[in-house]
Structure 1
Amino acid sequence: MPFVTQRKVRFQHCDPAGIVFYPRYYEMLNSVVEDYFAESVGHDFNRLHVDTRTGVPTAHIETDFHAPSRLGETLTFELTLRDVGRTSLTLRTVAHCGGEPRLTCDSTLVFVDLESGRPLPWPEAMRAHFAKDCQQG
């Protein structure tokens, strides 16, 4: 079952033509990942970054843009886990508005130690949560 959340297209996201400037989609996608970790996994980014000095940077991202999104629209983002590795997590995030696809993004996150920048194995509780989400996806 995908993690679903919404984002309103604001002026800050748009170019002079009033459509989402593509780098802003990546900010929205990151905020969706942040919400997934906080609301579904139970490890918000403050806990990860500040308390445990770990993070989940993007190691790979591939995006198809299907149609423009415009100022004032509300986009629905659906994040689905595709695979969980020893230190990585592969996601597919689809955004749509009123049933019309706007983008599809496949990305890979890596769990790292923020001090060294080196990959770490997922903590067992997180790995179990991801495995459950992968089976439901």
Structure 2
Amino acid sequence: MGFVTTRKVRFEHCDPAGIVFYPRYFEMLNACIEDWFEDRLGHSFGAIHVEGGHAVPTARCEVRFTAPSRIGDPLALTLRARRLGRSSLDLSIDVASGAEPRLHADFTLVHVSQSSGRAVAWPEPLRAAIIRELEEEAPHGT
């Protein structure tokens, strides 16, 4: 099923032609990831980045745009956990308006120490929460 959050395309997201200017999608995608960490994993970016001394930067992002979005369009962003490594995490996000797909994005995030800038293992409580998400996404019977 995945984690679903919604956004409405606003004037601020659009270029003069009235369609979403592609960098604004990246802001929406990042907000979706941030919401997922807080709402589903129970670990806010504030707790991770400010209080915890770690960071979760994007190491890879690949996006396929399939249709434009316009002012007023309701968008559903569906995030799914795909793979968990020692310090990395692969996610996918599908964006649609109603039944019409607008884009698909694949991300790799890396858990790093802010002081060293190096990848470090996910802390066990966060790792356990991500594993629960992966298990929810796994096809039944595997």
TM value normalised by structure 2 = 0.94
Taking only the aligned residue pairs, the percentage that are identical comes to: 52
The residue number in structure 1 matching 2:87 is 87
- Could you list the runs of 5+ residues in structure 1 that have no partner in the other structure? none
Partner deviation per Cα, 1:42-98 (whole Å, 9 max, x = no partner) = 111111111011111000010000100001111000000000000010001000001
The residue number in structure 1 matching 2:45 is 45
Structure 1: distance between partners of 2:74 and 2:114: 34
**Partner SS for 1:63:** strand
Stretches of 4+ aligned residues off by more than 2 angstroms = none
**Partner SS for 2:76:** strand
The residue number in structure 1 matching 2:140 is none
The residue number in structure 1 matching 2:97 is 97
TM value normalised by structure 1 = 0.97
Offset of 1:29 from its aligned partner?
0.2
- Could you list the runs of 5+ residues in structure 2 that have no partner in the other structure? 138-142
User: Is 1:57 paired with 2:71?
Assistant: no
In the alignment of these two chains, the number of paired residues is 137
Partner deviation per Cα, 1:95-134 (whole Å, 9 max, x = no partner) = 0001100000001000011122111100111111111111
Structure 1: distance between partners of 2:55 and 2:3: 20
